[in-house]
Amino acid sequence: MTLIKSISGFRGTIGGRTDDNLTPVDAVKFAAAYGTWVKQQLPKENYRIVVGRDARISGEMIQELVMNTLVGLGIQVIDLGLSTTPTVEVAVPMEHADGGIILTASHNPKQWNALKLLNNKGEFINAEEGARVLEIAEKQDFIFAEVDDLGKITKNDAYIDMHIDEILDLELVNTEAIKKAKFSVVVDAVNSTGGIAIPLLLERLGVETIKLYCEPTGEFPHNPEPLKEHLTDICKKVLQEKANLGVVVDPDVDRLAIIDENGQMFGEEYTLVAVADYILGHKKGNTVSNLSSSRALRDVTEKHGGTYSASAVGEVNVVKLMKDTQAVIGGEGNGGIIYPELHYGRDSLVGIALFLSLLAERSISVSELRKTYPAYYMAKNKIQLTPSLDVDTILATIAQRYQKEEISTVDGVKIDFPENWVHLRKSNTEPIIRIYTEAKTQETADILAEKFIAEIKEIAGI
């Protein structure tokens, strides 16, 4: 069982002992720490925090604990109930709230849950802010409200519809072209809240929707991370239904994967590439993704006359660099689309609307679209960490070995070879070392990954 306390929030498995897992006691402690931090930002009389959750089995329990802890601090809570991560992010500024909490463990299996923490802009809190919340949690430096000053919970289930309204109002979402194209789309929402939000969006866009795993029960029918090996059912369904494409989202709807009309993966890395191609075709500008993302985004950006920049892994890092470079589109290669015209957060709903706009305007199939982009292939591997592994020493040794190559140590170690690259880093959300490689063939990417896995094990003596 595991509890991970990080600057981006608190993530753990349900059950077990306190401070080793995400127990009810830990949920209350972390909610109290975050609520206390919010109150310290700007002393005033009334505070408001938006709270929403994915459909995990533990979600209702954790949400009740979190919301009532905030009430105990004298904070007004706007309860979105079953929602999506991007919907909560959109709701915070619309509510003029002081922050937001999303209860989701993203792509982790059903035994996990987490508190993801937002600032008053609806963006993830930064490293310094996260460190302060952690400090408050460790000290348990809480002052709760007296009985006459308790907060209240106000339910609001309109925000998914309002989120969709905001998307349809975007200049580059070509609703008319999408409706004329008469697309049919299979949706795999892994039995979470995407099963509520995505069909509503597609209906508004005039798209025929074929639902697969869209009941928000929290019983994930397959591993919820939208990777090729987990998506055999939707690939078959797209072929059976003769659909134009399939869309897959993770439990909190901030990662988007596309299936082409032949039941083949478009490529998780290429979701952002395609959306960026569409945006840059209408509006010149710069792009950002993280160090573990495909070179294809750089290639497409430069084709349109823009400048590509790479950040450390983590949405907050991508967003900061996007603001610094005034990027018009950005995100992460795991299918996370960040479109600043809407908000600075990964958003599968806006990603779907922009991707369909691209298909409709070009009158092109998904497989044909994929052929227009540079062909890169990635391998994504991981090594489980043990307490005896000194990750920093391992990575420093690798960097020393390859010092003659182009190296970035902004986040772990990334080595750029002329024809391929490898990125080694300690995960922020799981006790693992991630090994990402990219090359011009899958075989080369796999061989490169195996080579570095062997080197890590050799250095670590395992």
Q: Are 88 and 120 within 8 A, CB to CB?
A: no
Residue 286 to residue 302: CA distance in whole angstroms? 9
Please name the residue that has the structure tokens 């990635």: 378
b/e sequence 3-25, b meaning 16+ C-beta within 10 Å: bbbbbbbbbbbbeeeeeebbbee
Residue 431 to residue 15: CA distance in whole angstroms? 18
Q: Write down the catalytic residue from 8, 58, 83, 106.
A: 106
What is the DSSP code string of 135-152?
HHHHHT---PPPGGG---
Residue 102 to residue 92: CA distance in whole angstroms? 11
Residue 112 to residue 391: CA distance in whole angstroms? 24
* Chain length of the chain: 462
b/e sequence 360-396, b meaning 16+ C-beta within 10 Å: bbeeeebeebbeebeebbbbbeebeeeeebebeebbe
Identify the H or E element spanning 55. Answer: none
Please name the residue that has the structure tokens 């925000």: 159
The tokens of 115 are what?
A: 């508190």
Query: Is 408 a residue of the active site?
Result: no
Backbone angles phi, psi at 337, to 5 degrees: -105, 125
Q: Which of 294, 295, 305, 192 is nearest to 249 (CA)?
A: 192
Q: How far is CA 126 from the centre of its chain?
A: 16
Q: Are 294 and 316 within 8 A, CB to CB?
A: no
Counting Cβ atoms within 10 Å, is residue 140 exposed (0-12), middle (13-18) or buried (19+)?
exposed
Residue 339 to residue 171: CA distance in whole angstroms? 12
Residue 445 to residue 376: CA distance in whole angstroms? 9
Which of helix, strand or coil describes residue 363?
coil
Instruction: Give Dmax over CA atoms of the chain in angstroms.
Output: 66
Backbone angles phi, psi at 205, to 5 degrees: -90, 0
Q: Are 299 and 272 within 8 A, CB to CB?
A: no
* Catalytic positions, written as ranges: 106
